[in-house]
A and B are shown apart, each in its own frame.
Chain A
């Protein structure tokens, strides 16, 4: 059981750190999840990571729930609980405390400057996610077309992304990818 508790502690610590570094939301830390789960700890293959990301985008609920899939894969139901709590708990506590003082500092010049400074970083982090996910999921020309077509449709139309996910899934089932 020693090994099991070790892995739960690793999940708790790594996801808690990641949640505090997730500037701009869960999509910002996808590359760090990939680095930890695939490169550093070999918890899963590239393909499994890509699958879990795909499931988290297709399923209802916020994208952050990919951590539940990773936690389950690594350590079963206990891992799912620990990973979810670690990713969604610490910043909620911070939110509770800052929510009480927000009115006191929201108009301060330093708050505006800090937030302005963090904007290009959070966009850069989502950009890094796009790079890592493209490298992980796009392995042939059909997949390139699929990624570009989805990106273009999501950018220029107001379709619910779920339709795009559904079409992509059917195209995959039909053996096009």
Chain B
């Protein structure tokens, strides 16, 4: 199995399994509210495992893949450095802390979720959390609505089918994904 698909910059040694585990472990400790900037900082600026260009290429691949982007990034990076076991080390290092935090949160929630003060705090956070997603979607949608293309119709069809009609995701994607890819091919022909 080829060890390295994208060679790291020459001034840094290839990270060991332990390096991979602890690098991602540390990222989750510092990555309160968004882990991507921290990942980039550690990989490109501190450890110099990747050039800025290589990092962008890695991230492009993770956006192409389905699933949680940042989790995919751990697997791709670990795999490129140390094969399948490297992927597992990076993946586990990244998920360990958030998993434990969430289990503690879940235990506390099941026990104290009905306490009046907890109810009020969560009642305040919930609409704000929805507001964050609204801001995300407005930012993401702006380039889609630029210029003349079928993309806005695909966007609105997807949002209506899932958000308003509440149809099952699998069936909506089976219909809309090939349609949208076909349209993308057709306008670029």
Size of the B side of the interface (Cβ < 8 Å), in residues, is 96
**What interface size band does chain A fall in?**
35 or more
Given A27-B133, A31-B166, A62 and B127 touching (CB < 8 A)? no
Q: Beta-carbon contacts of B91-133 to A below 8 Å, as 1s and 0s?
A: 1000101110111011101100100010011111111111111
Q: Beta-carbon contacts of B64-77 to A below 8 Å, as 1s and 0s?
A: 11111111111110
Given A96-B87, A111-B64, A173 and B106 touching (CB < 8 A)? no
Binding site secondary structure of chain A: helix
The residue that B154 contacts in the complex, of A88, A121, A160, with Cβ under 8 A, is A121
Q: By the criterion CB–CB under 8 Å, are A93 and B154 in contact?
A: no
Q: By the criterion CB–CB under 8 Å, are A96 and B84 in contact?
A: yes
The residue that A92 contacts in the complex, of B71, B130, B158, with Cβ under 8 A, is B71
Distance to closest chain B CB from A54 (angstroms): 4
Q: How far is the CA of A96 from the CA of B129 in the complex (A)?
A: 32
Q: How far is the CA of A39 from the CA of B74 in the complex (A)?
A: 33
Within 8 A of A (CB), among B110-167: 110, 113, 117, 120-141, 144, 151-152, 154-164, 166
Residues of A within 8 A of B (CB): 17-27, 29-32, 35, 39, 48, 50-62, 64-65, 68-69, 72-73, 77, 80, 84, 87-88, 90-96, 98-100, 102-103, 106, 111, 113-134, 136-138, 143-144, 146-155, 160-162, 164-165, 167-177
Q: Known pairs A32-B162, A173-B117. 18 more at Cβ < 8 A? A: A19-B68, A52-B109, A55-B105, A57-B132, A61-B35, A69-B105, A73-B110, A88-B67, A92-B87, A113-B184, A120-B155, A126-B140, A128-B161, A138-B127, A147-B127, A147-B134, A172-B123, A177-B120
